[in-house]
A = this chain, B = another copy of it.
């Protein structure tokens, strides 16, 4: 059987050791004769597991003590609503830095609430989101916060450093597709959120990291969307997604065994470099993304010929290189190289691309 490599943008590949461990103990968690899927969220079995997951994440990201960590549901998309409801409580005005589809979705959901002034303060739309905005000039300084997307999953761009011009502003970041894969200082942000199905674990969990003094300022929010109520109840205001939290905990343990985020980032640099170098030297394939803004985790590429793209995707799939189709909004191909994606998979892809290039030179 051909070995397969899963380039999916999410739900994405998980560390093999993590899946194996989950499999081994699926019928009896910590010798309890109960599956982790069956344990009560009011039991010590759960509490210990939950607390360890939280501690490990705090350690891995060096999250200061004055930040709460919440384990929520609904994905980043629900956070597009929840963040404004909780944080836009003073000026009722939010600035959005627009660097791609998910940045847009974030401010569109804020607009839907009809409660806030929603300003797009900078955008790279004119360059078709193939690059980022690095300088922001705020005409109005009265923002409750400025929102940005650290890694644009579809367009393949990534902030290594935050844009200039944001001094004194509270920054909120959607880190869904590069949390734990690239080092950031949590201190630079008022709030960070991320869907789990890329670098954290499985779909159905959203991690929110929020500076404690920013929350608890709005009353009458729906309880499930109230960060303060959730923080006060250690994210167990109602039944939390126990299994998804368990899987995140296993991934955090695995990350610690891999020497943490800095080591992961080094590996991610190596993996992505391998593919970018090939792309930049290929006469068939190319990266549409500006060099200094390229993502470590999501790498779109094209041949420039739609039919050839399709042929490539079909042949790659047959060769066990799965889920390389680009997002429908941008077309082409995309390789997502999250933390759990192995270096040998990138080598396999580049080898396959070289062969394909040779065979299809004249096209």
Chain A residues at the B interface, C-beta cutoff of 8 Å: 1, 3-4, 6, 8-14, 19-20, 22-23, 26-27, 32-35, 37-41, 43, 73-78, 80-81, 109, 112-114, 195, 197, 202-205, 220-225, 237-244, 247, 322-323
Contact = CB atoms under 8 A, between A and B. Distances in A.
B195 A239 contact: yes
A34 B6 contact: yes
Given A220-B112, A243-B243, A37 B202 contact: yes
Contacts of A3: 33
Contacts of A6: 34, 38
B81 A224 contact: yes
Given A73-B74, A224-B81, A13 B26 contact: no
22 contacts: A4-B32, A8-B43, A11-B39, A11-B40, A19-B38, A20-B27, A23-B26, A37-B203, A41-B203, A73-B74, A73-B241, A75-B239, A77-B237, A80-B222, A81-B225, A109-B223, A112-B222, A202-B242, A203-B239, A204-B205, A204-B244, A241-B241
A33 B320 CA distance: 10
Nearest to A3: B33
A195 B241 CA distance: 11
Contact of A202 (B8, B75, B78, B243): B243
* Chain A to chain B: the 4 pairs with minimum beta-carbon distance, closest first: A204-B241, A73-B73, A81-B222, A77-B238
Nearest to A19: B35
Contacts of A8: 38-40, 43
Contacts of A243: 202-204, 243-244
A62 to B, nearest CB: 27
Contacts of A240: 203-204
Nearest to A12: B38
Contacts of A113: 220, 222
A76 B73 CA distance: 12
